[in-house]
């Protein structure tokens, strides 16, 4: 057999050796850094990925390499994986390679019979199972005589003695690790974490620091921050007589510091402990990261055998990054770059404690993060009663409709059987910051019986469940919770983010509560205030219906006149909360039939209220019904056909502007026209709104400014953005509707096949969740280009749900938007994302 | 007052004079041609539009001009408008300008008192009303002494004598005509006929050939073809003692030829009559057009005073154009250019005779041309019973749904209360060639009572009405009809058109009847065969529902296995009819809930058939219902989620292909995937269909070819056409759905505001009727470019309703499509349009 890999391919890890992450992997490089810091790292070699590949392909390695590696100490080594990125995993480490009958005998002398047996047995077991691929059950034995039985079993199964040649052992161990790296599961797992298809494995071969034997001997880990909170705290444990998973005689756990559970290493081996503390501080400083050190103490002598990045919660991640920047170890913008924006969401909400057991009864789409526990209610009315009684409740519906909004306000969480990421329930819940699971296909709701059935279990009205909206899990009963973490570190990080950001971030906020949340999260204004919810209040709804049933313009106007003071109040409150910041109000958008009763009983009640024959009411409701409401008589089409509605809204906006101005709050309201598809629509609406403004200025003898713009949500509006921009102070892309129309896909109906579609790779992502850059995105780019070409000073933004999604924000920023607007609870994510994009670009250029 | 226009600006119309259409107008040019032919045209002058403009602006014209004009004969002239295009109209002609007391006296001697009085009175009346703008009632007098009374009235109203100066008379007459041309109504009317905003008027001044006086004297018109049929026929009339609208003493009508109604000119003045016949033939040859001659006979002497293009029906237009080409007067391609494509539609259908009175009870959108009379039915079932009884019936519905198709087949016409140009009823009716009116908003249908109310009138089941789908008028009772005209001329014209055409024309045809019509009209194949109607047959519907309710793939497959032989028959029949031509079959497209009952009664019946609890059936129906079916689980989404459906259809197509091949009919079926928005959808469907093809080839041991393509109907498919083309043999733009999605506008719901929108100019046209070139059209262009860039050989077509619209065809051809496909009854229109486009382009280049 020819030697394909030169013996000198193995690099001894010294301070000056040529060790590269690309070739030798992340662990090899990290070990070199530890060596350079002067830490007591056992002699280690880096094996390049080329050599590992050659081994996997069946080639061998020149003997010289191995004899050098195996030449010192007891001649025992450990082999560890060293991938280019620690996240990509790798095969299990194999320790004590090189052990054989002769070395076993020698170890008995130096380490004692028990330690020597444990070391040999451990290796035989590992080798038999992972290298020779024998039945693990035959080698699971322990206790007296286990070593002899294992060696016998090996011989019986393979017809040969257990290999005594350390070089052969090492070659086979490395080859088995190399092949494990190529396995399908391993490949899929690491690719899911972003590894390229040709990611290569390096290995590290390290002299064993034996953790079995006389004196203070054992292995342990230590870290200097709390993984859950990120606060300074020395944690870890040291287990005596423990090498990897192999336990020798007299094993016991020593705690690092004084601990009620047992003796402390700090007391037993104060010098080693002090070294660990010192090494930890050094590693943090020099590796610019919170590290967990893996160490062995062998008869009192400390070796650092490995160091890895401390595992951490989202919350800890923020605190660690901020504190390292505050300590001057990393610059502020690097701290900003280190936090995954998506992770911020976890910090804003209660979370189910992941360390506790959970009784999962159903899974669905994790539509809005956070967790809450409450009693089941099946209707919005029940939810409001529960709230009145001071009872936390979870609203469970097949799907929600606009009438359910007050019920959602009254609930602590929402669960629906149908729907996807952008169903009504999901959008509203995210806006409200309510934990929400939608599309929980396995559940079945029997509204009449007040029953929720799932997998043979039945829950009734009043039963307690917990919604884990972060994971998309419905839990039976109450679950242990972690508090939200809007602490100093969080605020500091976002402050630094804002200093780096170069696009604006606003919030989509419909209510005063939303607006307050938005302000709390430092949104730079409201990018989308939907006004339709304002008409669902009972008192308003009946006036609304009167307006809908009016045949003549005067009658419509008279009904609207009664709505005017309420709308003025709505806007005045929003303007006061957002004082000094822009508020973009979308004019009335939904089809009118959403405001009419959907069942016969409701129609009868309405007939009574309006004093009309039932048949008339039914006929009118029927006449207003639509085949495809999404594509029907709504938005600007309604605004042009029944201009009195927009007139009233514009008046309310202007009067509110004047009113809050008298109280010292400056607002420049932005008025946005929905569902535009042609320039003339904008012209017609603009003419009327300008007239209303003139009238209000006249009547109030007050001056005020406002900006009129267009919501770009039809493909045609994007294509004609040049035209449309001429009459618009701003364009805001409503990417939800734009996605619906570009794909010809209703978000309310997509839930039934979206999982299949994403599962089969038909769509690489749910386009309602991640902006479809190739289709919808191209329309967005076209729209931006043409609008700017016609009117360079125009403000362009994105106010669809995508405004809160990091990938989508990156795309929108590249397309040239001035700001993104997202649900209030996504504002921190957007602020951080936008900052990271600006920093990355600066670093690249 | 300065003379702004030089006297020599008036050009005497001689064979060599410089008379130009642009400057002097169409009539001046036409007269010059008559002069060149040697016809007896009175001395005439062309007044350029610059002079007319100057007059309108209040300037005057050098006296020399007028003295020249007024110098000969009796010194009386007529002034006629001469616009650049005869279609653009113009002010009324004014005759006998120059008459005054002196000339009146002279005329009494030569023409007699009665004629002289009539001539003077006629001019005074015209001058008073149109030039001096006096009250017409004061000048409407006739009878003895009328002339004196008129002159007195003029003096009383204006405080001056009636102007005696011929130059002043002529100046004022011309100025009033010039100003009339600038009037708002006149401008709007001519712009509606295509005149540019700055269209200018020329005038013709002609010596009067007096039609009042002794002997055979009078005026008449003559033409040589029948205006309704285009067949050769001498028609017209001659009225003795009649000048314009002024009648002298002893007036009578002479008929041109022998006529039971009175004496014939042919007999009374055979020479003049023979001259007219000769002049007519000459004019046809030299003017290359069928002309109507206007003539005066003055004491036996013939003058040709004007000639205009013969007014003609669509049918006559075709016959005239063809016969002129056959006589070698114009080339064939000019004949093709002369017929307005839209007019062909009139020839394919029965029409209400426009010369008869009509009792209009309602108006709506003229959704499908032609006319038919029948008894009112309100349900599809009634329609089928009526058909069974052999009774013609008109199906009247609020709107039609797919279940109504058989009822439509059984009806002679369709009327719906709701809907627009591309509503279900409209599309299907055009396909079937049924006259159809949709969106007849004024009618009210009471289904229970079997009553149709409109404007206070009530019609009941069985009452007879007539649908005029060409005009969009509903008539009470039976109306007189004209036959369709698919005669030799029609066929000859289209044969010539086909020789010139450079894009293909196919038909959208779903049924054997459609296919036969398509073949009759020489469609070059089927461009869109929708398959869903095939499942509404009662026998199939129940199997379909069983399939929909199946939970497992096997059960679905077993239901589909029963549909397979029926589908195979469907396709085999289509393929036989279309033998030798391509047939493009669109795979199943609609959402499944369209096949389920929509009311409780239907659900109960279904529960019984399927032997399931009613609650289960209701729940399933409910679960399948969608918010926006247009954007839901249909088309390829269904094909991927329930692949058994497309498998069955593909098998039926391939087996039918093999079956008809054994009978000697070659077919290369085209299979089209609907509602694609991503390339992967095409890949997945293609894999399965290729597998089905392989299986059928194996089983039948027969080879066959097929082409797989994509229907481009989502904006995303157009944007990603490059990708999608890679796996497609063809792309066909479904412009109906593409329009819906580009605008975010459901055609079924647009009817409620489309009229307002087009009326207010928000949309310049109904985009479902005329392709929106700026939005939808840009997507079509983008799609064509990208598809061809990736796959130059790909076939691209348009199969939406726009494929039958001339403007839209022009756009599609320019965008580079290979063919258009339209409803069978639009095929002739498309063939002619396509030919004209090719000819125009050839002439321009």
Burial readout B22-58 (b: 16 or more C-beta within 10 A, e: otherwise): ebbbbbbbbbbbbbebebbbbbbbbbbbebbbbbbee
Q: What is the DSSP letter of A42?
A: P
Nearest to B749 among A632, A741, A763 (CB): A632
What's the pLDDT at B333? Answer: 95
Active site residue B424: yes
This model of the complex carries an ipTM of 0.80
Proportion of chain A above pLDDT 70, given as a percent: 98
Measured CA to CA, the distance from residue B598 to residue B629 in angstroms comes to: 14
The pLDDT tens digits for A751-791 are 778 878 888 889 988 898 899 999 999 999 999 999 999 99
Task: Say whether pLDDT at A215 is over 80.
Answer: yes
Chain A interface, best mutation among B422, B626, B715, B752, by max A CB count within 10 A: B715
What's the pLDDT at B1? Answer: 45
Residues 6+ apart with CB under 8 A from B434: B368, B370, B372, B408, B411, B412, B413, B414, B469
What's the pLDDT at B351? Answer: 83
Residues 6+ apart with CB under 8 A from A164: A100, A101, A102
Asked if the structure places residue A62 within a domain, the reply is yes
Residue of higher predicted confidence among A600 and A705 = A705
Active site residue B409: no
Residue of higher predicted confidence among A327 and A612 = A327
Task: Say whether pLDDT at B309 is over 70.
Answer: yes
Task: Say whether pLDDT at B629 is over 50.
Answer: yes
Q: Is B742 on the interface with A (CB under 8 A)?
A: yes
Cβ contact A680–B762 (<8 Å): yes
Same domain, A226 and A202: no
What's the pLDDT at B69? Answer: 83
The pLDDT tens digits for A72-109 are 767 899 999 999 998 898 899 999 999 999 999 999 99
Measured CA to CA, the distance from residue A811 to residue A803 in angstroms comes to: 10
What's the pLDDT at B817? Answer: 97
* A157-168: average pLDDT: 93
B593 to chain A: which residues are within 8 Å by CB? none
Count CB atoms within 10 A of the CB of residue A456.
5
* A443-452: average pLDDT: 88
Mean pLDDT comparison of A382-391, A420-429, B630-639, highest-scoring range = B630-639
| Rg of the Cα atoms in chain A | 33
Report the number of distinct structural domains present in chain A: 4
Same domain, A228 and A366: no
Average pLDDT of chain B is: 90
Q: Which of B30, B799, B812, B822 is catalytic?
A: B799
Task: Say whether pLDDT at B157 is over 50.
Answer: yes
- CATH number, domain with residue A742: 3.20.20.60
* B166-187: average pLDDT: 91
What's the pLDDT at A448? Answer: 84
| Rg of the Cα atoms in chain B | 34
What's the pLDDT at A420? Answer: 82
Mean pLDDT comparison of A421-430, A705-714, B378-387, highest-scoring range = A705-714
Q: Is B721 on the interface with A (CB under 8 A)?
A: no
What's the pLDDT at A244? Answer: 67
B714 to chain A: which residues are within 8 Å by CB? 742-744
Same domain, B185 and B259: no
Residues 6+ apart with CB under 8 A from B651: B564, B568, B692, B695, B696
Which residue in A172, A179, A239, A202 sits closest to A50, CA to CA?
A202
Task: Say whether pLDDT at A147 is over 80.
Answer: yes
Size of chain B in residues: 845
Band the pLDDT of B229: cuts 50, 70, 90: confident
What's the pLDDT at B248? Answer: 66
What's the pLDDT at A1? Answer: 46
| Weakest mean pLDDT among A68-72, A171-175, A564-568, B188-192 | A68-72
pTM to 2 decimal places: 0.81
B444-446 and B436-438 strand pairing: unpaired
Same domain, A710 and A735: yes
Nearest to B628 among A742, A748, A778 (CB): A748
Q: Is A757 on the interface with B (CB under 8 A)?
A: yes
Asked if the structure places residue B835 within a domain, the reply is yes
Asked if the structure places residue B763 within a domain, the reply is yes
What's the pLDDT at B253? Answer: 74
* B257-285: average pLDDT: 87
Task: Say whether pLDDT at A171 is over 80.
Answer: yes
| Residue pairs between chains A and B whose CB atoms are closer than 8 Å | 166
Asked if the structure places residue B775 within a domain, the reply is yes
Mean pLDDT comparison of A359-373, A786-800, B739-753, highest-scoring range = A786-800
Q: Is A551 on the interface with B (CB under 8 A)?
A: no
The whole domain housing B130 covers 4-207
Residue A801 structure tokens: 């749900």
What's the pLDDT at A403? Answer: 75
Task: Say whether pLDDT at A625 is over 50.
Answer: yes
Same domain, A241 and A300: yes
Cβ contact B741–A737 (<8 Å): no
Same domain, B468 and B524: no
* A664-677: average pLDDT: 94
What's the pLDDT at A247? Answer: 64
Q: Is A756 on the interface with B (CB under 8 A)?
A: yes
| Weakest mean pLDDT among A44-53, A253-262, B505-514 | A253-262
* B79-88: average pLDDT: 93
Q: Which residues on neighbouring strands pair with residue B460, listed in sequence order?
A: B451
Q: Which residue of B has its CA nearest to A591?
A: B749
- Of the three residues A182, A207, A232, the one that is the final residue of a domain is A207
Tell how far CA B705 is from the center of its chain: 40
Q: Is A641 on the interface with B (CB under 8 A)?
A: yes
What's the pLDDT at A646? Answer: 97
Average pLDDT of chain A is: 90
Asked if the structure places residue A297 within a domain, the reply is yes
Same domain, B19 and B115: yes
The pLDDT tens digits for B706-748 are 999 999 999 999 999 999 999 999 999 999 999 999 999 998 7
Same domain, A149 and A228: no
Please, is B571 exposed, middle or buried when counting C-beta atoms within 10 Å of its C-beta (0-12, 13-18, 19+)? Answer: buried
* A657-662: average pLDDT: 94
Chain A interface, best mutation among B749, B752, B776, B779, by max A CB count within 10 A: B749
Q: Which residue of A has its CA nearest to B441?
A: A623
CB of A566 closer than 8 Å to CB of A651: no
Q: Is A575 on the interface with B (CB under 8 A)?
A: no
* A540-549: average pLDDT: 90
* B465-484: average pLDDT: 89
Give the 3-state secondary structure of residue B339: coil
The pLDDT tens digits for B596-605 are 988 888 899 8
Q: Which of A799, A802, A812, A822 is catalytic?
A: A799
Band the pLDDT of A259: cuts 50, 70, 90: confident
DSSP secondary structure of B790-831: H-TT-EEEE-SGGGG-HHHHHHHHHHT-SEEEE-GGGHHHHH
Asked if the structure places residue B611 within a domain, the reply is no
- CATH number, domain with residue A57: 3.30.1490.20
Residue of higher predicted confidence among A258 and B295 = B295
Residue B270 structure tokens: 């055979």
What's the pLDDT at B7? Answer: 63
Measured CA to CA, the distance from residue A59 to residue A64 in angstroms comes to: 15
B631 to chain A: which residues are within 8 Å by CB? 628, 630-631, 740-741, 744-746, 749
Asked if the structure places residue B549 within a domain, the reply is no
* B292-304: average pLDDT: 93
Cβ contact A743–B714 (<8 Å): yes
- Of the three residues B264, B285, B312, the one that is the final residue of a domain is B312
DSSP secondary structure of B249-303: EEEEEEESS-BTTB-BHHHHSHHHHHHHHHHHHHHHHHHTS-EEEEEEEETTEEE
* B770-798: average pLDDT: 97
What's the pLDDT at B269? Answer: 87
Nearest to B626 among A715, A743, A749 (CB): A749
Backbone angles phi, psi at B832, to 5 degrees: -70, -45
Q: Which residue of A has its CA nearest to B765?
A: A678
Nearest to A631 among B677, B740, B752 (CB): B740
Same domain, B576 and B464: no
Chain B interface, best mutation among A402, A591, A631, by max B CB count within 10 A: A631
The pLDDT tens digits for A549-562 are 888 889 999 999 99
Q: Which of residues 616 through 635 in chain A touch B, CB cutoff 8 A?
A: 626-633
Q: Is A46 on the interface with B (CB under 8 A)?
A: no
Band the pLDDT of B3: cuts 50, 70, 90: low
Q: Which of B24, B130, B409, B424 is catalytic?
A: B424
Same domain, A251 and A274: yes
CB of A25 closer than 8 Å to CB of A204: yes
Same domain, A368 and A305: no
What's the pLDDT at A39? Answer: 92
A714 to chain B: which residues are within 8 Å by CB? 742-744
Same domain, B189 and B229: no
Asked if the structure places residue A328 within a domain, the reply is no
Q: Is B594 on the interface with A (CB under 8 A)?
A: no
What's the pLDDT at B829? Answer: 94
The pLDDT tens digits for B802-814 are 988 899 999 999 9
- Of the three residues B207, B239, B259, the one that is the final residue of a domain is B207
Q: Which residues on neighbouring strands pair with residue B467, listed in sequence order?
A: B372, B474
The pLDDT tens digits for A707-728 are 999 999 999 999 999 999 999 9
- CATH number, domain with residue B291: 3.30.470.20
């Amino acid at each position: 057999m020819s030697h394909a890999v030169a013996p000198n391919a193995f690099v001894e890890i010294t301070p000056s050796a040529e060790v590269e992450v690309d070739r030798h992997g992340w662990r090899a490089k990290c070990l070199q850094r530890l060596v350079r810091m002067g830490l007591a790292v056992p002699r280690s070699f880096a094996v390049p990925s080329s050599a590992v590949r050659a081994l996997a392909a069946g080639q061998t390695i020149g003997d010289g390499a191995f004899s050098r590696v195996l030449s010192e100490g007891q001649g025992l080594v450990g082999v560890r994986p060293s991938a280019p990125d620690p996240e990509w995993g790798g095969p299990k480490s194999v320790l004590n390679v090189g052990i054989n009958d002769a070395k076993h005998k020698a170890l008995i002398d130096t380490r004692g019979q028990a330690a020597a047996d444990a070391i040999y047995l451990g290796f035989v077991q590992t080798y038999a199972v992972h290298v020779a691929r024998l039945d693990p059950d035959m080698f699971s034995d322990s206790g007296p005589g286990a070593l002899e039985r294992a060696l016998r079993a090996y011989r019986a199964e393979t017809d040969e003695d257990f290999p005594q040649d350390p070089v052969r052992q090492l070659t086979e161990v490395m080859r088995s690790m190399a092949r494990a790296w190529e396995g399908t599961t391993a490949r899929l797992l690491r690719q899911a974490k972003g590894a390229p298809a040709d990611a290569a494995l390096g290995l590290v071969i390290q002299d064993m620091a034996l953790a079995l034997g006389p004196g203070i001997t054992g292995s342990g880990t230590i870290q200097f921050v709390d993984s859950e909170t990120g606060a300074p705290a020395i944690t870890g444990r040291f287990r005596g007589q423990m090498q990897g998973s192999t336990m020798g005689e007299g094993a016991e756990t020593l705690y690092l510091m004084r601990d009620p559970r047992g003796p402390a290493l700090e007391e037993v081996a104060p010098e080693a402990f002090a070294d660990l503390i010192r090494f930890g501080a050094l590693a943090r400083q020099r590796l610019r990261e919170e590290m967990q050190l893996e160490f062995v103490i062998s008869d009192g002598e400390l070796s650092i055998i490995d160091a890895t990045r401390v595992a951490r919660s989202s919350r800890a991640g923020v605190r660690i990054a901020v504190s390292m920047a505050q300590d001057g170890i990393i610059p502020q913008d690097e701290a900003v770059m280190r936090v995954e924006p998506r992770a911020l969401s976890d910090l804003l909400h209660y979370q189910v404690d992941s360390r506790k057991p959970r009784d999962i009864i159903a899974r669905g789409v994790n539509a809005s993060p956070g967790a809450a526990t409450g009693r089941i209610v099946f209707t919005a009315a029940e939810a409001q009663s529960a709230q009145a009684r001071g009872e936390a409740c979870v609203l469970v519906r097949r799907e929600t409709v606009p009438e359910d909004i007050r019920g959602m306000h009254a609930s602590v969480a929402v669960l629906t059987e149908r729907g996807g990421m952008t169903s009504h329930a999901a959008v509203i819940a995210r806006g409200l910051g309510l934990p929400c699971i939608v599309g929980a296909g396995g559940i079945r709701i029997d509204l009449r019986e007040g029953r929720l059935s799932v997998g043979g279990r039945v829950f009734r009205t009043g039963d307690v469940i917990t919604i884990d909206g972060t994971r998309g899990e419905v839990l039976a009963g109450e679950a242990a919770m972690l508090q939200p973490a809007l602490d100093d570190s969080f605020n500091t990080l976002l402050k630094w983010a804002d200093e780096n950001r170069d696009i604006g971030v606003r919030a989509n906020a419909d209510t005063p509560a939303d607006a307050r949340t938005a302000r709390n999260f430092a949104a730079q204004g409201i990018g989308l205030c939907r006004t339709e919810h304002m008409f669902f209040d009972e008192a308003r709804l009946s006036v609304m219906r009167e307006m809908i049933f009016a045949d003549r313009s005067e009658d419509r106007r008279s009904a609207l006149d009664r709505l005017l003071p309420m709308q003025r109040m709505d806007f005045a409150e929003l303007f006061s909360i957002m004082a000094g910041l822009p508020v973009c109000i979308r004019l009335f958008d939904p089809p009118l039939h959403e405001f009419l009763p959907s069942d016969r009983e409701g129609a009868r009640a309405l007939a009574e209220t309006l004093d009309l024959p039932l048949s008339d009411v039914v006929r009118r409701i029927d006449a207003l019904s639509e085949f495809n409401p999404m594509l029907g008589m709504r938005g600007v089409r309604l605004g042009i056909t029944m201009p009195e509605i927009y007139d009233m809204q514009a008046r309310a906006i202007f009067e509110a502007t004047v009113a809050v101005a008298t109280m010292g709050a400056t607002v420049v309201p932005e008025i946005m026209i929905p569902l535009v598809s042609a320039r003339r629509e904008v012209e017609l609406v603009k003419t009327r709104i300008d007239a209303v403004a003139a009238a209000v200025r006249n009547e109030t003898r007050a001056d005020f400014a406002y900006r009129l713009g267009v919501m770009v949500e039809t493909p045609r509006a994007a294509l004609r953005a040049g035209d449309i921009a001429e009459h618009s102070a701003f364009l805001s892309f409503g990417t939800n509707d734009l996605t619906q129309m570009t794909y010809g896909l209703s978000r309310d109906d997509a839930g039934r096949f979206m999982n299949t579609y994403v599962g089969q790779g038909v769509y690489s992502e749910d386009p309602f969740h991640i902006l479809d850059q190739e289709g919808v995105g191209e329309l967005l780019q076209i729209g931006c280009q043409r609008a700017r070409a016609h009117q360079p000073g125009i403000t362009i933004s994105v106010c669809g749900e995508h405004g809160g999604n990091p990938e989508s924000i990156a795309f929108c920023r590249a397309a040239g938007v001035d700001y993104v607007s997202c649900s209030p609870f996504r504002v921190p994510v957007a602020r951080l994302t936008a900052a990271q994009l600006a920093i990355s670009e600066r670093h690249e250029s």
